[in-house]
């Protein structure tokens, strides 16, 4: 029976809960808001399946029969690209699978926007629910079981998510399926669902209204300086650039990520997924002609299936091959886990006590020396700019 001794050794992927033949594993949130498996001893028959499918206990190595290649890519449909976090490649992959009678799994907001969970989509019109990054852990629920049912019935399945969610799916399935396609992301880490819920409650209190639409990566000010945007039912809106928004400050300062994200077992260029999608940070230096600040994707292709999927998109994208060595330089999250903020534990305790923005301010406020250093760097950059002119 599965038992969590070290929280950093559980990604919350739900593979154990999906596999249990007695349905005796519940995923229960701890005080930080992250769910962990809890087995009901009375119902357990000691079959050991939960331990066997855990991708952390039984690590599965990526198939290295196909060399990983990298491209920069842009969806030629500008409207979709602007509604996507980077170059809008996810939508094209998903449309292709649905057009072949398949189904797509990915992360969507709940109706009240206070949580994110994985859902299955079989209509192109519903892809909007999956489009766009949601910077909070998405609950897998029973979607691995649902995906298996579709696979067994012969339907094509595209399963998308974080690398640990894709790892969990393969471990749960245990058999290879010709009709399964997977896509993961380069993953910074996932913030606590509890922190996200508190933030939505806070925003709604400020606007005295319910959330109607929400974007983590709105491109109002461009792709590189993306903005957090809430639209409320009383026709008001909240919009802040990424470094000015308190939730994004907590996320990017690594104050509220899942413990497993600080020691991630799914890092590396080579992945279990067929395709990895990411932001092509640094594109302005690598291929300036592929940068219009509306979003460029970095696409890593790891398998023959991934190549097959990408070939189908050739007339719908603008793309250029890039050297695989460039990936780590501009996107270190591909290889390295982030380092936990030294005040993480205190932050996650205090968030229960004070108003959201007060807590974030308390924990992300720069010291006088840091502020002085930033000011000096800013002045030096301005002088450099004038000297060049
Ligand atoms: C938590 C998180 C951390 C990330 N960290 C990085 C990073 O460090 N560096 C980097 O370059 N890119 C990162 N990305 C990926 C990047 O933000 C884009 O999602 C990716 O480039 C795909 O963009 P797109 O324009 O093709 O499609 P989009 O339409 O923007 O992306 C949709 C896809 O993202 C998936 N998705 C959205 N939210 C979640 C979620 N909470 N959990 C699992 N899957 C989700 C959907 O299922 C779908 O597959 C991260 C994404 C997430 C969700
Ligand atoms: S040992 Fe078997 S029955 Fe018991 S919790 Fe694990 S999967 Fe369920
Ligand atoms: S299978 Fe997933 S949720 Fe279950 S213990 Fe392992 S990592 Fe945690
Ligand atoms: S950083 Fe690793 S453990 Fe955390 S969500 Fe991403 S893939 Fe999973």
Q: Where are the domains of the chain?
A: 7-52, 69-189+256-334, 193-245+344-381
For ligand 4, atom 2, name the residue with the nearest CA: 264
d(CA 146, CA 188): 27
Q: Which residues pair with 25 in a beta bridge?
A: 39
- Tokens 């996200």, residue? 196
Q: Which two tokens stand for residue 173?
A: 């399935």
101-139 burial, b at 16+ Cβ within 10 Å, e below that, comes to ebbbbbbbbeeebbbbbbbbbeeeeebeebbbbbbbbbb
State the burial class of residue 179 (Cβ atoms within 10 Å of its Cβ: 0-12, 13-18, 19+). middle
d(CA 169, CA 142): 11
Number of Cα atoms under 13 Å in the Cβ half of residue 286:
24
Is any ligand 4 atom within 6 A of the Cβ of residue 254? no
R_g over Cα of the chain: 21
What was the pLDDT predicted at 380? 72
Residue ranges for the chain with pLDDT beneath 70: 366-372, 374-375, 378, 381-389
Chain centroid offset of residue 85 CA? 11
Q: What is the dihedral of CA 97, 103, 107, 110, to 10 degrees?
A: 140
Nearest ligand 4 atom, CA 258: 4
> 345-365: per-residue pLDDT in tens?
999 999 998 788 888 888 877
What was the pLDDT predicted at 6? 96
What was the pLDDT predicted at 90? 98
**CA 325–ligand 3 middle distance (angstroms):** 32
Residue 333 CA: distances (Å) to CA of 36, 183, 214, 309, 370: 24, 17, 25, 25, 24
DSSP one-letter code for 256: S
List the one residue out of 298, 301, 296 whose CA is nearest residue 278. Answer: 298
State the burial class of residue 310 (Cβ atoms within 10 Å of its Cβ: 0-12, 13-18, 19+). buried
Q: Which residues pair with 278 in a beta bridge?
A: 298
d(CA 301, CA 299): 6
Nearest ligand 2 atom, CA 25: 5
What was the pLDDT predicted at 61? 87
Mean pLDDT (the chain) is 94
> 29-55: per-residue pLDDT in tens?
999 999 999 999 999 999 999 999 999
- Probe target for ligand 1 pocket from 133, 317, 327, with the most ligand atoms within 8 Å of CB: 133
pTM score, whole prediction: 0.94
Is any ligand 4 atom within 6 A of the Cβ of residue 164? yes
**CA 234–ligand 4 middle distance (angstroms):** 36
Phi/psi zone of residue 350: left (φ > 0), alpha (ψ -120 to 50 degrees), beta? alpha
**CATH class in words for 7-52:** alpha beta
What was the pLDDT predicted at 358? 86
Q: Which residues line ligand 2 (CB under 6 A)?
A: 1-2, 19-20, 22, 24-25, 39, 44-50
Nearest ligand 4 atom, CA 333: 1
For ligand 1, atom 44, name the residue with the nearest CA: 161
């Amino acid at each position: 029976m599965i038992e969590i001794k070290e929280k950093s050794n559980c990604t919350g992927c739900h593979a154990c809960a999906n596999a249990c033949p007695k349905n005796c594993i519940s995923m229960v949130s701890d005080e930080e808001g992250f769910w962990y498996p809890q087995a009901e001893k009375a119902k357990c028959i000691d079959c050991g399946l939960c331990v066997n499918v855990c991708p952390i206990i039984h690590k599965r190595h990526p198939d290295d029969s196909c060399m990983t290649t990298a491209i920069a890519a842009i969806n030629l449909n500008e409207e979709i690209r602007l509604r996507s976090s980077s170059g809008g490649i996810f939508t094209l992959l998903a449309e292709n699978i649905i057009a072949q009678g398949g189904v797509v799994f990915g992360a969507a907001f709940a109706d009240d926007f206070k949580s994110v969970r994985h859902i299955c989509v079989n209509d192109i019109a519903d892809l909007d629910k999956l489009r766009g990054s949601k910077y909070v852990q998405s609950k897998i629920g029973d979607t691995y079981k649902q995906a298996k049912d579709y696979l067994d019935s012969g339907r094509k399945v595209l399963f998308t998510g974080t690398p640990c969610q894709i790892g969990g799916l393969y471990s749960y399935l245990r058999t290879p399926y010709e009709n399964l396609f997977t896509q993961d992301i380069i993953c910074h880490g996932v913030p606590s669902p509890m922190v996200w819920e508190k933030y939505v409650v806070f925003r709604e209190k400020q606007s005295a209204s319910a959330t109607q639409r929400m974007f983590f990566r709105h491109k109002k000010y461009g792709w590189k300086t993306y903005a957090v945007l809430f639209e409320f039912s009383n026709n008001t809106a909240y919009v802040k650039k990424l470094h000015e928004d308190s939730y994004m400050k907590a996320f990017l300062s690594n104050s509220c990520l899942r413990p497993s994200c600080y020691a991630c077992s799914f890092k590396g260029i080579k992945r279990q997924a067929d395709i990895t999608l990411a932001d092509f940070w640094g594109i302005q230096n690598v291929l300036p002609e592929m940068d219009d600040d509306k979003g460029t994707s970095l696409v890593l292709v790891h398998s023959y299936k991934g190549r097959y999927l990408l070939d189908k998109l050739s007339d719908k994208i603008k793309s250029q091959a890039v050297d695989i060595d460039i990936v780590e330089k501009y996107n270190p999250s591909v290889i390295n886990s982030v380092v936990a903020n030294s005040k993480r534990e205190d932050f996650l305790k205090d968030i229960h006590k004070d108003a959201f923005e007060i807590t974030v301010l308390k924990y992300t406020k720069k010291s006088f020396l840091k502020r002085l250093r930033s000011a000096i760097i800013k002045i030096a950059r301005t002088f450099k700019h004038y000297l060049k002119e």
